[in-house]
Structure 1
Amino acid sequence: MKQIQKLYPHLLAIIGFILVSLIYFSPVLRGKKIYQSDIVQYTAMAKEQNDFRANENAEPYWTDAAFGGMPTYQMGAKYPNDFIGHLDDALRFLPRPADYMFLYFFGFYILLMVLKVDPLKAFFGALTFGFSTYLVIILGVGHNAKAHAIAYMPMVVAGIILVFRKKYIIGGLLTMFAVALELNANHFQMTYYLLFLLLFLGIYYAVKFILNKEYKELLKVGAVFLGALILAIGANATNLLATKEYADFSIRGKSELTFDAEGKKKTENTALNRSYITEYSYGIAESFNLIAPRLFGGGNGEVLNDDSSVYNYMIQVGASPEEARQFTQGYGKTYWGKQPIVEAPAYIGIVIFFLAILGLYHDKRKLKYAFLVGAIFSLVLSWGKNLSLVTDFFIDYVPMYDKFRAVSSIQVILELCFPVLAILGLHSFFTTEKEKQWSSLWKSTATVLGILIGLFLLKGMFDFSSDIDQQLLQMFNQGEDKSFGIGFIDALVEDRKSLYSADLLTSAFFVIITFVPLYLYSKNKLSHTTAVILVGLFMVADLVLVDKKYVNNEDFVSAREVDMPFVASPTDEQIMQDTTRYRVLDVAGYLTAKASYFHKSIGGYSAVRPQRMQELFDYQIVNNNLEVLNMLNVKYIMQTNEEGKEFATKNSEVNGNAWFVSKVRFVKSSDEEMKALNKFDSKNEVIINTLAENGQDFKGAENISKDSTATIKLTYHKPNHLKYISNNKNQGFAVFSEMYYKNGWTATIDGKEATILRVNYTLRGLQIPAGNHKIEFKFEPQVIKTGSFIALISSIGMVLLLVGGIYFDRKKIHNLK
């Protein structure tokens, strides 16, 4: 009975997390869905895959709808024996995005329990982690995989700490399942960043073990981690193996080209371009947004109201109230930081910061320093190109660091560490003698208020100008009145200064009102529970008031608008009247997924799009190389005229799905291969790199020929299965307008396996004997079969360990009695 009673506070906390998640995203209770821009793109990209799954009750693992063809491994493919995925589905039982919010709360609550924080403080601590502005913003824009991975981070940390505390059974089990769920979330950048924090925690505990000469215990810890990691990786083997296989094929792999699209020699040899990696770098001074959200103007979409200087300026120059309002909201760009796009500041909460400083002064546990180092480390790396010395070192020398972009997102580690420090500080404050409480309280209050006052006094050092100001000036100065633009920018700068001052004052206010209940408790004028509740409410209110400015009920729409995000335009409908198999190029929306929703597109939306297809676009298609479009079977080109009206141009020179050639041109490098595409006859000539996959297997080029009657026709097509009939009096070589991918695709001629060659930089080619033949391509990736078998064995092992762990743990408790 006592054991059951101990569960009541935790059960109440979980119910509270459910209610808070549903209340914050209350429109889900009315059947509405949040409109997430990234998920709209994903829905379009995955439509062909989802339609195939619904019609065939199977997975295609390949899509024709995007980038001319690519694996679906990073597009929501479902794998056999994915038992961890089923467990994850059970934990995410709430409507989206309330499910991710609940996971934020639940995972962080577990971590705080492991850190021996009482349930009430842990409840509020979990809420503050989940309401950290960045974590809410990514739900608003649809970075679901990122949110998913972040949500499981605290559980992983909790398991690691338990094992280091020699709780081998429960710690090992928690680590095993948490790591498995973290990997299943499938956002390897977030998982990669988590490793840095785990490294700092590992160093902290390893030093303790070594100083205490507990070498055997340290070996036990290592053995538990190794076993947990092996099974966690094994349970996710299919996705991990498939992703690893695909990585080099994508833009995350290193290009074989040694010159750029302008013909200049490349100076970098990183997986991603250095400027691309660091494009989103947090400004050093901008980092103070963490404690005062709109110091640098908030986000790009910040909206000024009728009390703003810009609005008043527009009224002064003769605009009507409605005109002034429209102009203010349209051109009043308050963000003046250095990042290209910012949805909202990454605000962690001034109360959280205040309590974290309190913890650094007050909490006696040395573990706090591991979290402090993790926070500082992530902050420094988030500066990216603004601290190039450090960033360049990591790009050049730290394994895999060059495979991820948007370095500012490493701040998720800081956003985990600071709430931990804050709740440790709050917990320690209430569990130590009264005379020490005041000392720590006034020091932390003075420190935080000192920082805020210092920022206020330094206001004059900033010019509050942005790169967009020059664009606005240029636009406004096209008229006769050149003074209008200058006046508008001056008013805009005043609004930026107002936001700067207002948020510093707001932060100071929250520090003071948080100080009051802590002070009253230290003087025995307020009860423990009342003080905790008040501080907890201040923590949550501080964050929610900011969150609601950026993600709120207005972001929800009907379920139909989310499930069917695009409506076919007249141009789309015109193209779709053509029932043959062809591809489409959307010139204006090459890196968007709308065309993929309705057509077979050579563009799309993906952070892991195929490397060679992207290079074809950068080096050839942007230069209007029609022969490349012909070989890609691009029959329709979607464009917009000067009035912004969409129209389609039909390419009558398109090569079709497959064709015989009469000439082979051999090259010996990817550089030569790309340059050969600059000028070639795609209908009669094929380019083969003899150093490419299977390129050395090509024999008998002198015997290749075609006559006027030679044909090859596509008779059956699904994304993962193609059939052709060929007729050629002579031995021939056929080019297929299908993306070459060396793993998984097999070809047969009359049932006998044939060697697929990569030709024309991206396409498939086959040597075909004289006569009539049946040709088939099938996509049956071995990596799926191998990975699924490993996942099955690993999942069985995890279940057996869980049952065994529970048995031995209960037996140990019984023996203690």
Structure 2
Amino acid sequence: MQTVFKTWILPILALILLNVIYFYPALTGKVLSQDDEMLGLAKRHEISEYREAHGEEPLWTNAMFSGMPTFQITTNYPNNGITYLKQVISLLGKPSRIYIFASMMIMFFIMLRALSVRPWIAVAGSLAFAFSAFFVISFAAGHIAKVHAAAYIAPLVAGVILTLRGKWKLGLILTLIGAGLSIQTNHFQITYYSAFILAAIVITEGVYAVKNGVIGTFAKRLGLVMIAGLIAIGPNIGNLWSTYTYTQESMRGGHSALNENSGDSEAKGLDFEYAMSWSYSPLETMGLFIPNIMGGGAKQSYEGTDTYDFLYRNFSQQARGDQAVEMSNRYAGSVMYWGEQSLVNGAYYVGAVLFFLIVFGFQAMEDRLKWALLGVTVISVFMAWGHHFESFNRILFNHLPLYDKFRVPSMALLIVFFTIPLVASLGLERLFSGKLSSEQSTKLLKRSLYITGGIAVFFAVIGPAFFSFEGANDGRFAQQLDMSKVIGDRQALMRSSAFTSLLFIAATFAALWFYVKGSLKPTYALLAIVALVVVDLWKFDKDQLGKEEWLPEREFAQTFAPSAADQMILKDKDIHYRVFNTTAGLTSDSYTSYYHKSIGGYHGAKLARYQDLIDEQLSKGNISCFNMLNAKWFIQANGQNGKVAVPNPNACGNAWFPSSVTFVDNTVEEMRAMDEFNPQVEVIAQSSLQENIDGFVFAPDSTVNRSIVLESYDPKHMVYKSQNSGGDALAVFSEIYYTPTNQAWQAYVDGEAVDHYRVNYLLRSMVVPSGNHTIEFVFEPKTYYAGEKIDLGMSILFYGIIALLGFMIYRDSKSKTESSEA
């Protein structure tokens, strides 16, 4: 028991304590001000309110982009048993989800211990992994799912390695848990990159099996891994099925319908140039070890630079104290950064200590795992370079499955953020295990110092004269600032940052050198490494996520306080209408969605046809298209830093009977026909619908009474009452037409299923029978409801197998204990 306490309980408690210290404001009732999380709260508001009121999922929301499924916003899958495992993990610290960092460290610690790494080396590696700047920056920005999914790479990798090396019972448990949680977290880009690490490990183990004539054993073990992976997918089927189906209709999965007649009908996924935005340049990649190599980012201090001093003198005339300092530093960040990305909060700093340790680790490791980790590390860097290594990435983009569904190539560095602390830990383990002679250790330490120290010296001494330090936005800054001083500051930042990294490299070398020479006991040497990792990362991370990011709950809630314009619109008693906020972008605004059903929104996988409408009509201010979407209210600036609500009397309402129809041959003509049309009068339809709707559009007749009114609103169940005395007639509805297989809206008249059609590029229409009728549109996607049944069955199987494997491990352990006692 004492051994367990020292090797497991105490190190994990130390990790949790560090997590508590770093995130202490969360325990005092404060809340993180995370941009993306606040945007997420706004766009999820209608969903959350519906869930609370009805105890079920709405599955569709009209809160943004005039209506879309909720599958990639927020959807609960109660029958997914892995959800409850995640809830248990969240007990490590629910305030502001700080449990995510604790779980990252503990999961990484478990992986390293499973790979026979001694406890305090595992502590250092776990700290280095979790507090890598990428995760801190992402968390501070509110990219919660991204960070959360990264936590489960470690048990998944450990499980695959253990299984392929014969420890299949424990290995399969870790594989099931890691894979299941990773998929459940619903950030498929992170899970996708995790697969690269696993593929590298499998290939390396396969080569080893071939060389040693054990390919049959390897194949059996790989089969077990694959079976475990499939079982881990099982409880997530509802989510995966729903997401896959929706993705085919979104920007991520298909192509614009406007391309159907352009010869590009086979185009799938994102456009290459769009997907390669946010590529990392080779030089910027060095920011992993020298953080200010490209000038830094928006969330750090630039006090002491000429640029900051000039800005502070100006901003101090507008604001005082801390506010002036914050404004000066934030603006200085945009000026100092001379990379090609629009703006960064800071470099993805892994640490100078880790820089030294990974160079040492790759040299010291003899395990075949080294080649898997080296290969996947190099590939991930090439992927992160994006258009900077276009020949390589075009091959992946055109041929690698699913690769064209993701953007932001720099996110591929996730692999590096995992492999660096892993290799560093395995290298340290080999050093402290005594498997290297003193001569070998000395040689490798020196070589590592020469390599890493030499690179740091280059950027400290030669770099400031070698690079141009000119940024893409310098022309704009030159109108306000002396650019010679700005470039001088950029050079100074590179120099000082490189020298700081050199100091950490030297300190790491010294600690290990004295250990090898016998001047420092192993325990103290390891504690020194842990301390160096903490000190190296702590200040940089605090710049990205410091005390100023935490707000009292009352102040946080004020973010969503309704404006005067919101309050005016909310007085409207109409049960369903839409709002266009002209003071915000069509694709970058979620706050409007908190109180209203918005024409705009913020989502990276909106419906492809709606993006077409934004590009071709809404962004150009075509009022007819706003009218057909029932944009009843516009929020406009009042010229006094405020907003006013302006009613739109020409909004078409929830449904109407047009009096003329224009048939076109294809989607391009359909979009062009909407350039100038009156949607209240005219409907645009493709000629393929002519036999279905021709003859059901009538000119106005004073003797005929036609009306259609929305009687009740529910995001997934719309009920209308129609009155039509002049024969069957075509009605148009201001709702998005969405009918993919197994996920289609269904239409009913008096309870009988009927067809409905797409008109005006993306709206619903229906031939309404003569007389008085009840019309319903119902969203009951099979992907969700049938998926939930599959989730339940697979969850039972998932936990049943884990319980069986756990029992087998317990039985083996008990048998071994009894044998030793005998």
TM-score, reference length from structure 1: 0.93
Is the 1:97–1:139 Cα contact (8 Å) retained in structure 2? no
Alignment of 1:702 with 2:704, yes or no, is no
For residues 356 and 536 of structure 1, the distance between their equivalents in structure 2, rounded to whole angstroms, comes to 15
2:653 alignment partner AA: G
Superposed counterparts of 1:466-505, under 5 Å: 466-474=471-479, 476=480, 485=481, 488-505=482-499
2:652 alignment partner AA: N
Alignment of 1:530 with 2:530, yes or no, is no
Alignment of 1:510 with 2:504, yes or no, is yes
Secondary structure (helix, strand or coil) at the match of 1:75 reads: coil
2:217 alignment partner AA: E
Q: Which residue of 1 aligns with 2:103?
A: 103
Q: Which residue of 2 aligns with 1:392?
A: 394
Superposed counterparts of 1:209-224, under 5 Å: 209-224=209-224
Q: Which residue of 1 aligns with 2:712?
A: 716
Superposed counterparts of 1:25-104, under 5 Å: 25-93=23-91, 94-95=93-94, 96-104=96-104
Deviation of residue 687 (structure 1)? 2.3
Q: Which residue of 1 aligns with 2:406?
A: 404
Is the 1:582–1:634 Cα contact (8 Å) retained in structure 2? yes
Superposed counterparts of 1:397-796, under 5 Å: 397-431=399-433, 432=435, 433-456=437-460, 457-474=462-479, 476=480, 485=481, 488-562=482-556, 565-580=559-574, 581-589=576-584, 590=586, 591-640=588-637, 644-689=641-686, 695=689, 699=692, 701-705=694-698, 707-708=701-702, 709-729=705-725, 730-742=727-739, 743-796=743-796
Alignment of 1:284 with 2:299, yes or no, is no
Alignment of 1:806 with 2:799, yes or no, is no
Is the 1:258–1:266 Cα contact (8 Å) retained in structure 2? no
Secondary structure (helix, strand or coil) at the match of 1:451 reads: helix
For residues 316 and 804 of structure 1, the distance between their equivalents in structure 2, rounded to whole angstroms, comes to 69
Alignment of 1:180 with 2:176, yes or no, is no
Describe the shift of the 1:312–1:657 C-alpha distance in structure 2 as closer, same or farther (beyond 3 A): closer
Is the 1:661–1:684 Cα contact (8 Å) retained in structure 2? yes
For residues 329 and 148 of structure 2, the distance between their equivalents in structure 1, rounded to whole angstroms, comes to 33
Q: Which residue of 2 aligns with 1:482?
A: none
For residues 590 and 805 of structure 2, the distance between their equivalents in structure 1, rounded to whole angstroms, comes to 47
Describe the shift of the 1:108–1:633 C-alpha distance in structure 2 as closer, same or farther (beyond 3 A): same
Larger deviation, residues 283-292 vs 647-656: 647-656
Describe the shift of the 1:321–1:311 C-alpha distance in structure 2 as closer, same or farther (beyond 3 A): farther
Q: Which residue of 2 aligns with 1:481?
A: none
Deviation of residue 272 (structure 1)? 1.6
Secondary structure (helix, strand or coil) at the match of 1:467 reads: coil
Deviation of residue 247 (structure 1)? 0.3
Q: Which residue of 2 aligns with 1:479?
A: none
2:452 alignment partner AA: V
Measured against aligned partners, the alpha-carbon deviations of 1:75-95 in whole angstroms (never above 9, x if no partner) come to 221113121011011112112
Deviation of residue 355 (structure 1)? 0.9
Secondary structure (helix, strand or coil) at the match of 1:355 reads: helix
Larger deviation, residues 521-530 vs 181-190: 521-530
Larger deviation, residues 465-474 vs 267-276: 267-276
Deviation of residue 41 (structure 1)? 0.4
Is the 2:286–2:293 Cα contact (8 Å) retained in structure 1? yes
Secondary structure (helix, strand or coil) at the match of 1:242 reads: helix
Measured against aligned partners, the alpha-carbon deviations of 1:91-149 in whole angstroms (never above 9, x if no partner) come to 12112232111121011112211221011110121011111111111110100010011
Structure 1 segments unaligned to the other structure (5+ residues): 477-484
Is the 1:179–1:229 Cα contact (8 Å) retained in structure 2? yes
For residues 494 and 696 of structure 2, the distance between their equivalents in structure 1, rounded to whole angstroms, comes to 75
Measured against aligned partners, the alpha-carbon deviations of 1:39-83 in whole angstroms (never above 9, x if no partner) come to 100000011111111111221111111111111111221113121
Is the 2:256–2:608 Cα contact (8 Å) retained in structure 1? no
Secondary structure (helix, strand or coil) at the match of 1:718 reads: coil
Larger deviation, residues 45-54 vs 582-591: 582-591
Larger deviation, residues 245-254 vs 807-816: 807-816
Identity of paired residues, percent? 32
For residues 241 and 186 of structure 1, the distance between their equivalents in structure 2, rounded to whole angstroms, comes to 12
Structure 2 segments unaligned to the other structure (5+ residues): none
Q: Which residue of 1 aligns with 2:142?
A: 142
Describe the shift of the 1:744–1:12 C-alpha distance in structure 2 as closer, same or farther (beyond 3 A): farther
Deviation of residue 37 (structure 1)? 0.3
2:611 alignment partner AA: Q
Describe the shift of the 1:402–1:191 C-alpha distance in structure 2 as closer, same or farther (beyond 3 A): same
1:212 alignment partner AA: N
For residues 325 and 344 of structure 1, the distance between their equivalents in structure 2, rounded to whole angstroms, comes to 18
2:288 alignment partner AA: L
For residues 263 and 648 of structure 2, the distance between their equivalents in structure 1, rounded to whole angstroms, comes to 34
Deviation of residue 561 (structure 1)? 4.1
Describe the shift of the 1:159–1:552 C-alpha distance in structure 2 as closer, same or farther (beyond 3 A): same
For residues 611 and 641 of structure 2, the distance between their equivalents in structure 1, rounded to whole angstroms, comes to 26
Measured against aligned partners, the alpha-carbon deviations of 1:192-227 in whole angstroms (never above 9, x if no partner) come to 111112111111011111112213212212321222
Is the 1:302–1:335 Cα contact (8 Å) retained in structure 2? no
Measured against aligned partners, the alpha-carbon deviations of 1:274-329 in whole angstroms (never above 9, x if no partner) come to 22211101111111111110111111344421x22235567999998989968854
Is the 1:25–1:97 Cα contact (8 Å) retained in structure 2? no
TM-score, reference length from structure 2: 0.93
Measured against aligned partners, the alpha-carbon deviations of 1:476-505 in whole angstroms (never above 9, x if no partner) come to 3xxxxxxxx4xx222222211111111111
Superposed counterparts of 1:119-158, under 5 Å: 119-158=119-158
Deviation of residue 190 (structure 1)? 0.9
Deviation of residue 689 (structure 1)? 3.1
For residues 355 and 265 of structure 2, the distance between their equivalents in structure 1, rounded to whole angstroms, comes to 42
For residues 11 and 278 of structure 1, the distance between their equivalents in structure 2, rounded to whole angstroms, comes to 44
For residues 621 and 781 of structure 1, the distance between their equivalents in structure 2, rounded to whole angstroms, comes to 29
Is the 1:283–1:339 Cα contact (8 Å) retained in structure 2? no
For residues 266 and 639 of structure 1, the distance between their equivalents in structure 2, rounded to whole angstroms, comes to 39
Aligned length: 797
Larger deviation, residues 416-425 vs 364-373: 364-373
Alignment of 1:160 with 2:154, yes or no, is no
Larger deviation, residues 726-735 vs 455-464: 455-464
Describe the shift of the 1:267–1:513 C-alpha distance in structure 2 as closer, same or farther (beyond 3 A): farther
